[in-house]
Amino acid sequence: MSSSPLLELEPHVRIIGSLFGSSPSRRRGQSDDVVSGRPYQPGDDVRRIDWATSARLSAIRGEDHFVVRESYGEEAPFVCFTVDRSPSMALYPREYPWLHKPDAVRQIAEVVALSAGHYHCPLAFLDADNWRPPSTSAEADELTELLDMSGYDRAEETIDSLFGRLHAVEHMLPGGSFVFCCSDFLEVPTERTLAMIVDAGWELVPVVVQDPLWEQSYPEAAGEVSLPVCDQAGRFRLLRQSRTEVSERRRAHEARLRRLEELFTGYGFPPIVISETGTDALADALRSWNVRRRPLR
């Protein structure tokens, strides 16, 4: 995983975050991002005196006046990693030749933790059973341990309920916080839910974990055999489909992925789409996300 690129955790907006970061803050501090000037006061750092402005003001007023530059500070945004615990996230066991979603979630969690550490970002974790407040001491191993503490067996879990829990801890995640949401998004979130994310001022990062064969599309061969299909409660049943049903399912799956891409990107939240657990595939997905976000900043 060390060969995967780090995520560029630079928010679109000025933030109230953690000290010693590199993102522009709403608060005043020391940086090259000058916001205004004010009269010099005893105790001010003389290195912050704007000598050119001071000279012009002194010439106009006929006496010495010193102006001190005030700058925005630089801080690090908060980062929250959250995961969907619905049964569909464990639909394909590791021994099947398809995407094992828990492995994909674990890989992206490691990259998020390493990126947060690189940018000195406090890291939080949220799922159906756990809430770990933001901490700068969080490590990748600790994040994966939290992932392993619960299974993917919450039949009542929906993507909107997951975002609802985020809303409950909104006071712990100020505007500009990055919220990584790992889910297969087999249920498209409502626009009301996304509007809540926008109102909170968060930098949502949807991590769409879908098998490319069975969830992003649907194979022709599925119309020739009886398939074990998992329902919303996590129970399997045999399904026999006609060619017409297979074609309709394929169109629906492909349309759902397009809808997710368009919906999230339209709100300014380009998703990370994970279709494989290989290091190279994950690295390509992360690089693509970094590139797609740069114009938004």
Query: Does an H or E element contain 35, and which?
Result: strand 18-39
Closest CA to 135 of 149, 111, 117, 154: 117
Question: Does residue 233 surpass a pLDDT of 80?
Answer: no
Residues in the chain: 297
Please indicate, yes or no, if residue 209 is contained in any of the structural domains.
Answer: yes
Say what the pLDDT of residue 18 is: 47
How far apart, in whole angstroms, are the C-alpha atoms of residue 247 and residue 221? 11
**pLDDT, mean over the chain:** 82
Q: Are residues 146 and 278 in the same domain?
A: yes
How far apart, in whole angstroms, are the C-alpha atoms of residue 145 and residue 230? 27
Say what the pLDDT of residue 20 is: 47
Please indicate, yes or no, if residue 48 is contained in any of the structural domains.
Answer: yes
Q: Are residues 269 and 226 in the same domain?
A: yes
Q: Which amino acid is at 142?
A: E
How far apart, in whole angstroms, are the C-alpha atoms of residue 191 and residue 244? 31
Full domain range(s) for residue 30: 18-75
Q: Are residues 58 and 160 in the same domain?
A: no
Q: Are residues 56 and 95 in the same domain?
A: no
How far apart, in whole angstroms, are the C-alpha atoms of residue 105 and residue 184? 10
Q: Is the pTM of this model over 0.85?
A: no
pLDDT digits (tens, 9 = 90+) for 10-26: 765 554 444 444 444 44
How far apart, in whole angstroms, are the C-alpha atoms of residue 209 and residue 274? 5
Task: Give the domain CATH number at 150.
Answer: 3.40.50.410
pLDDT digits (tens, 9 = 90+) for 179-198: 999 999 999 999 899 999 98
